[in-house]
Amino acid sequence: MRSYSEIDTAAKRASKGIGFSWGVSEEVGKNIRLLEMFGLPGLKNLNEYYKIFKKKKFQNLSLVSKENSSKIPYCPIIAGTNFLDQINNLEELGEIKFENLSFPILFIPFVSRASEIIGKRIFLTIDEKEFLLNFNQSIYSNYLSGDILEKSGQIKIKFIENQNMFSEIEWQELYRLSEDTFVEETENLKQTAAGAGLTDND
């Protein structure tokens, strides 16, 4: 089994070899490592994408907006890089759509990393496939296939506001149970606790 470090390095060097800058190539290396760690077919999709990269024309998306559509398939790496760079402004849009994004699996880790930057979960759908991105710590998905995904019809990205998954009543009930562990402070405890008996001569 290949190590994640080997996967990162190979993806980075392949990206530079195909024509991307070292900066972008380093981002791709990190991303493929992430996908493989999360159990998604990153290297497989990247390898297939690079087989056709110079044979087929792809659209570079520089400025990401609320609605993004192109007759020429978007490059997932350039679109993802700019999405990540612009995330602090894009968060304010609430929801973002992409149409005709090539090899969308390669776009996912950019969104996962964006989730960590803004401190919010992000819900992403690729047609009927769903992905919940949790602060770049995990990805929950109904996409269990290890297949190559060459294109997407529509991608939707929704920023999820942070909120507790429990009610205030549930919190208070649990907190009352925790109070049984509290130790009541007594004069004896004050005299024997750490730092007791020390004098400050300053």
Tell me the per-residue pLDDT of 159-193, one tens digit each, with 9 for 90 and over: 999 999 999 999 999 999 999 888 766 676 566 66
Q: In the prediction, which pLDDT does 181 show?
A: 87
Q: How many CB atoms lie within 10 A of CB 55?
A: 6
Measure the CA–CA gap between 3 and 118, rounded to whole angstroms.
Answer: 29
Model-level pTM?
A: 0.86
What distance in Å separates the CA atoms of residue 155 and residue 110, rounded to the nearest whole number?
14
120-148 mean pLDDT: 94
pLDDT tens per residue, range 70-97: 999 999 999 999 999 999 999 999 999 9
Phi and psi for 99 in degrees, rounded to 5? -120, 135
Chain-centroid distance, C-alpha 63: 20
Band the pLDDT of 144: cuts 50, 70, 90: confident
Residue-range domain boundaries for the chain: 4-160
pLDDT of 196 higher than 70: no
Which percentage of the chain shows pLDDT scores above 90? Answer: 86
Per-residue pLDDT, 180: 87
Q: What percent of the chain has pLDDT over 70?
A: 91
| Sheet arrangement for strand 67-74 | 67-74, 95-101, 154-160, 121-126, 129-134, 138-141
Least confident of 9-13, 145-149, 184-188, 197-201: 197-201
At 18, which helix (H) or strand (E)?
helix 4-18
- Reported as half-sphere exposure (CB side, CA atoms, 13 A), residue 52 has a value of 13
